[in-house]
A and B are shown apart, each in its own frame.
Chain A
Amino acid sequence: MTLPALDIKNLPTPKEETWKYTNLSRALPDSLNLADKQEEILIHKGRGEITGKAEEIVLTGHEGQHHQPRLNITLEPGAELTIIERHEGDGAYWKNMVSIIEIGANAKLRHIRIQDDDKQAVNTSMVRIALARDAVYDSFTLNMGGKLTRHEIHAVIQGENAECTLNGVNLLNGEQHGDTTILIEHQAPHCASNQFYRSVLDDSARGVFQGKVHVHKAAQKTDGYQLSNALLLSPKAEMDTKPELEIYADDVLCSHGATTGQLDEDPLFYLRQRGLTEADARMLLIQAFVNEVVDKVADETAKATIEEKAQAWLQEALKK
């Protein structure tokens, strides 16, 4: 696979189809130290190697930095691993990351990303995933930090009976801009892919969800599912959604859906009739909206961290 790195000398512009909602060059900090070296993280698990405890990677950005982490994860056939990738930092910086993930036959990777970068930072993360037969990639992203973030995932399902799950929650406020762009290529038969994203957008925050499922002619019996739901807490918040299906096989089951809206009045009134204050009722409903995705995180420790961060964010949002 080619390295999909973003080059500061040749940045994508909104004229490109998949970048039309996201203006990267305008968001980058004025002064970046371009002499910064790349940081390489290599993770390799041998044939049948099963790692019980989750491994954690912490990526920390610093003021003025052009941080270029390169993450390579290779799982040999039958290996199993859970990775927790944490993003944090301090100041205005550009974290320009590339991840190359190869999952061998019957191997399984759980990939949990907690993106809580500084609110002045830009985080672009280009992820390439290749799945062999019977492989499983199960990912979840909590996207809550950064001034502008772009999480671009390109998954290629190369062997049959493989499964690729891309889930995520965006919690954005202020002027934050969070872009999730996905391309899943089904090249082999009897595979499944799931995308389930939920966004809560407050103030003037803007969310972008572009998800494309491309089913090649050979990929009969594909089961593809895609759903993006966004909840707008403010009249200035915005969500741009572009779900796409491109199907060349004739025996597949693919569905996609997208909703954007405010909190429903009916459940709100129902809860208030049962004694909950309006603030508590809102909190409970938004929490439930978020937790339906978070509940799918298999790693209990990571799930607890995510729930805690989400709850703190919601409490802050509803205080206003």
Chain B
Amino acid sequence: MIKINDLHASINAESEDSKEILKGITLEIPAGEVHAIMGPNGSGKSTLSYVLAGRDDYEVTSGTATMDGVDLLDMDPEERAAAGVFLAFQYPVEIPGVNMSTFLKTSLNSVRKQRGEDELDALAILKLIKTKCKELGISEDMMKRAVNVGFSGGEKKRNEVLQMAMLAPKFAVLDETDSGLDIDALKIVADGVNKMRDPNRSFLVITHYQRLLEYIKPDVVHVLAHGKIVKSGGPELAHELEEKGYAEFLDEAA
């Protein structure tokens, strides 16, 4: 289970332009649950995902974040990955010159090595890739291409879900995975996520739109505004937001 307590984070913490973006986030995601975070642009949604994954552009100034009682904030990004934290990026990064199968193999074996598990040989990995591609409706031709290079928006997001399926994390953060997707691509992505729902796995689904939550049914919906969670509720809260917009929360927090 994920516990985030009074988390504050700033960008450019050391300099004069220092700006606090997360202003005390408290959140608990029990194992097996899917929580959604909705909020207007600039509310701190992406910052929260980067802080949880360990990007060092942000500095945590106070508060804690733990997974099964283990402090996440003290770990390097790769240690968090090995512990079971996965971030599906809002903008998956293109890596020219590194092909997909090499990337997936290196990623999976790096995680296994850190966990003290045996590395898988090329054949076993290939088999696993084949199975997962089939499950997710991803063409295997994609495996011969360089990571995300020349991929369409939909392919990039499906690729994120494929990596999540390969790494089988304990805690997956999906950062605006729905942005820019047409309805068919959205369904494929949501379907991939739903297949991975598990009593031992938690999800944090960050989104701007309620539409995604039609396909990935959350247990709890939180509203993030001005770096704080200003309201939490059931799935009905998402519908409310879709109708009324975020104006009321922006006023409240300001």
Contacts and interface: CB of A to CB of B under 8 A. Distances in A.
Interface of A: 265-267, 269-278, 280, 284-285, 287-289, 291-292
Given A269-B93, A288-B95, 16 more contacts: A269-B53, A270-B93, A270-B95, A271-B107, A272-B81, A273-B86, A274-B103, A274-B111, A274-B167, A275-B78, A275-B114, A276-B107, A276-B110, A277-B110, A280-B110, A285-B98
Contact of A278 (B78, B86, B89, B108): B78
Given A269-B55, A270-B92, A276 B78 contact: yes
B207 interface: no
Contacts of B96: 288, 292
Which are the 7 A-B pairs with shortest beta-carbon distances?
A288-B97, A275-B111, A275-B110, A274-B107, A272-B77, A270-B93, A275-B81
A270 B86 CA distance: 11
B174 interface: no
Contacts of B78: 272-273, 275-278
A289 B106 CA distance: 17
A280 B106 CA distance: 9
B72 interface: no
Contact of B76 (A272, A284, A291, A292): A272
Contact of A285 (B95, B107, B108): B95
Contacts of A272: 54, 76-78, 81
Interface of B: 53-55, 57, 76-78, 80-82, 86-87, 89, 92-98, 103, 106-108, 110-111, 114, 163, 167
A264 to B, nearest CB: 8
B95 A275 contact: no
- Chain A interface main SS type: helix
Q: Which of B54, B77, B110, B163 has the most CB of A within 10 A?
A: B77
Contacts of A271: 95, 107
A267 B95 CA distance: 7
A86 B68 CA distance: 58
Contacts of A274: 81, 103, 107, 110-111, 163, 167
Nearest to B98: A288
Contacts of B167: 274-275
Nearest to B80: A273
Contacts of A280: 106, 110
A267 B77 contact: no
B98 A284 contact: yes
A278 B167 CA distance: 18
A198 B54 CA distance: 31
Contacts of A275: 78, 81-82, 107-108, 110-111, 114, 167
Contacts of B86: 273
Contacts of A291: 97
Nearest to B95: A267
A291 to B, nearest CB: 6
A128 to B, nearest CB: 33
Contacts of A289: 97
Given A275-B81, A277-B78, A266 B93 contact: yes
B110 A292 contact: no
A280 B108 CA distance: 13
A266 B78 CA distance: 14
A273 to B, nearest CB: 5
B147 to A, nearest CB: 8
Nearest to B94: A267
A276 B102 CA distance: 12
A26 B95 CA distance: 41
A272 B114 CA distance: 12
A277 B80 CA distance: 11
A12 to B, nearest CB: 36
Nearest to B86: A273
A288 B148 CA distance: 14
A220 B155 CA distance: 41
Q: Which of A274, A276, A287, A292 has the most CB of B within 10 A?
A: A274
29 contacts: A265-B57, A267-B94, A269-B53, A269-B55, A269-B93, A270-B93, A271-B95, A271-B107, A272-B78, A272-B81, A273-B78, A273-B81, A273-B86, A273-B89, A274-B110, A274-B167, A275-B81, A275-B107, A275-B114, A275-B167, A276-B106, A277-B110, A278-B76, A278-B78, A285-B95, A288-B96, A288-B98, A292-B96, A292-B97
Contacts of B111: 274-275
Nearest to A266: B93
A86 B65 CA distance: 57
A285 B102 CA distance: 12
B96 to A, nearest CB: 6
A272 B81 CA distance: 8
Contacts of B87: 273
Nearest to B89: A270
Contacts of A267: 93-95
B224 to A, nearest CB: 21
A278 to B, nearest CB: 7
A127 B93 CA distance: 41
A287 B53 CA distance: 25
A273 B53 contact: yes
